[in-house]
Amino acid sequence: MSAVTALRVEDLHVYLGESHVLQGVSFSVAKGGVTALLGRNGVGKTTTLRALMGLVPRTRGTVEVQGENVTRLPTHAIVRRGVGYVPEDRDVFAGLTVEENLRLSERGGDGRYDLVYDLFPELRERGRQRAGTLSGGQQQMVAIARALLNDNSLLLVDEPTKGLAPLLVTEVAVALERAAELATTVLVEQNLGVAQRVAQHVVVLDGGRVVHEGTAAELFASPERVRELLGVHGGHN
């Protein structure tokens, strides 16, 4: 099982204050491709990614990356097991330049600058610009580039198209497809058009639990099922 499993989550529970946000989340992600983590607003998608990263305290459950139990590891140690993270709202370091943001995320050896500059040529041109002065789309490029700079085996990407103009959404989707060729990707995405375009598998959360797992093609082939699980109409938007 572990030879083909990039990520296994078992009975994950998280409390944020008094709120029991994750109530026993369990799912597995096979190696390769993109798995979209879907669900209505507030069902725990972002919290799931933050819990996998060790950024919020987990009260119960197991997380395995490439067959290794990382449940008790601190965040930096999880990342060093080959996990890249693109947070919701980008979280670029506003006071640092683009080049410094990238250099900071280098881990051991040379970063894959050719790859990230090939995907986002704009970042090379804006290397000396403070990240805080970039547009939202450019900041998203920095956030994705930071995760792609290292040879990660698993990428956790949280709403990369949130708040972006349609043209930029396409650019980010292309980058995600390229990223997925390099590493198994778990994608939280509200834009179902993007999810449908890039994901092969889906995991749907509701009320802090997984309510559906399957292939993306199967889910998006059934508008009724999409409406039932996600409360929206399927298809590109």
Partner 1 sequence: MEATISTFVLLTITGLGLGAMYFLVASGLSLIYGLMGVLNFAHGAFITFGAYVAWWITDQIGGSFEVRLLVGGACGLAFGAALGALVELVFIRPLYRRPVEQVLVTVGLALALGALVYGIWGADAKFFPIPDWTLDTTTILGANIPNDRFVEIGVAAVVLVGLIALLRFTRIGLVIRAGVENRAMVTALGIDVRKTFTLVFAIGGSLAALAGVLSGVYYGNVDPVRGTSLLIYAFIVVVIGGFGSIGGSAVAAVAVGLVQQYANFYVADWLDWSGAGDVSVMLLLASVLLLRPEGLAPKVAH
From the CB of 170, what's the least distance to partner 1, in Å?
A: 27
DSSP-derived pairing of the beta strands 19-30 and 34-38: unpaired
From the CB of 212, what's the least distance to partner 1, in Å?
A: 28
From the CB of 53, what's the least distance to partner 1, in Å?
A: 6
Residue 209 neighbours by CB under 8 Å, 6+ apart: 23, 24, 25
Nearer to partner 1, 50 or 201 (CB): 50
From the CB of 76, what's the least distance to partner 1, in Å?
A: 5
From the CB of 202, what's the least distance to partner 1, in Å?
A: 25
> Please, are residues 165 and 137 in contact by the beta-carbon 8 Å criterion?
yes
Token pair for 185: 């990707």
CB atoms within 10 A of CB 55: 13
Give residue for tokens 């090379």.
124
Q: Find the distance separating the first CA and the last CA of the chain, reported in whole Å.
A: 36
Nearer to partner 1, 26 or 97 (CB): 97
CB atoms within 10 A of CB 7: 23
Nearer to partner 1, 23 or 75 (CB): 75
Nearer to partner 1, 109 or 167 (CB): 109
Q: Which residues bind partner 1 (CB under 8 A)?
A: 53, 55, 74-77, 79-80, 85, 87, 91, 93-96, 100, 103-105, 107, 146, 150
Nearer to partner 1, 5 or 75 (CB): 75
Q: Which element (helix H / strand E) includes 47?
A: helix 45-52
